[in-house]
A and B are shown apart, each in its own frame.
Chain A
């Protein structure tokens, strides 16, 4: 417990002093908001037709949840991979392991800071999407499951790499597939079927369930089961990789 607390405090202090990391948590909701607000801007006396504004505002939940899925898939994996790769590159992780820090304590310590900040981002997305009551809770729960999976996946990639550059090179293609995949799945049934097993696609499925319940094809509980399985798989992968790299017990 003391190790987890130590890593948590270290990561919190480090993240606060790292604007490059913090901006990742703000840019996605801000972009969703800006895209929504733009529909109400008076462009030099020219107003968008009211029906177009209504259509775009009606689309805000879709826009916000799409950006939320991209955030969970694209922003977090490279961020976490980069943090851990930095600890490896500077040999800091070696000293932590020598001091008796276990893989689980390290992952929970680093991950919980990212998880906490991501929870704030999730709340922002929930408000932008206009969710209330139970819908807000379901959306938040699905996002936090996705965030958890991305954190563990990012951590695994970070452990596998030797430096931040390699972490970015390895994590970006994976993040792109997971972040943009659900968007492609909206236009392509084959992509939707292939991506069905991935948590980011299930984030989209949950969001679609909330935005258009009458079009739902997959029950929400099933999405949570798939996301839970994703977390389990990446969790096991993390422990295996941590130990194989000689950082375990």
Chain B
């Protein structure tokens, strides 16, 4: 079953065309990766799928209501005067979630010891973990993660990967953007490569690499991207 899809979507900001004939679909219960350098249009796609931006032309479909979506975006949207736990309690109250679930999630992202710390005093990595905790708190059907592990240490990132896999096993669809090729290769079931607002390749990471393997070279995702665009992902 399709969780979210775009068909021939075009989007411009003034004269700048940021999405060009974008077509893809994410299936229920998969981890779907979107790869591309800054300015490729990844965040615009997330904003369109979460109904924060309109499109110029094409079709967009998201199979769930907005409250069934979990979000981890570039701007964290945290209440800076509240503690980490109080930030989650706001959403616990909105969703009607048991408090034990909130405590479980905050422990799970490694913020158990910092739960009573005011958000303003948390490090960037801790804030990012708190945002992830908020995104998964209500066990969303679709989860949008924008660079979920970019400011995290390897151990915490591994824990986050495990959490993302568990969400998938429970049936959630995870839509993530990343620059981390290793993360995409090991975590994603399928990926699309986005370059200057256009999808240039898509499929399971292993299959994409195999498509470009030659007798002499075994390709990884970054090598494929460089071959296709002449530039790196970062």
Contact = CB atoms under 8 A, between A and B. Distances in A.
Q: Is the interface of A mostly helix, strand, loop or mixed?
A: helix
A222 interface: no
Interface stretch (A96-104, A191-199, A232-240): A96-104
B60 to A, nearest CB: 15
B76 interface: yes
Nearest to A101: B94
A101 to B, nearest CB: 6
Contacts of A3: 93-94
Range of interface residues on chain B?
A: 20 to 34
Interface stretch (A10-18, A33-41, A62-70, A116-124): A10-18
Interface in B46-83: 50, 52, 65-67, 69, 71, 73, 75-82
Given A92-B79, A96-B94, A100-B67, A13 B86 contact: yes
Contacts of A246: 52
A88 B28 CA distance: 32
B90 A10 contact: yes
A97 B50 CA distance: 11
Interface residues of A, number: 24
B89 interface: yes
Given A2-B96, A90-B78, A91-B76, A98 B67 contact: yes
A113 to B, nearest CB: 13
B91 interface: yes
A237 to B, nearest CB: 23
B75 A13 contact: no
Contacts of A17: 81-82, 118
Contact of B52 (A92, A94, A96, A100): A94
A95 interface: yes
Nearest to B73: A91
B11 interface: no
B67 A99 contact: yes
A6 B79 contact: no
A90 B80 contact: yes
Contacts of A243: none
B91 A99 contact: yes
B67 A9 contact: no
Interface in A27-46: none
Interface string B81-110: 110001001111111100000000000000
Contacts of B118: 17
B81 A18 contact: yes
A94 B77 contact: yes
B74 to A, nearest CB: 9
Contacts of A97: 66
Nearest to B54: A246
Interface of A: 2-3, 5-7, 9-10, 13-14, 17-18, 90-101, 246
Given A99-B91, A100-B65, 7 more contacts: A2-B96, A90-B77, A91-B75, A91-B76, A95-B134, A98-B66, A99-B66
Closest 5 pairs (CB-CB, A-B): A6-B93, A100-B67, A91-B75, A91-B77, A95-B77
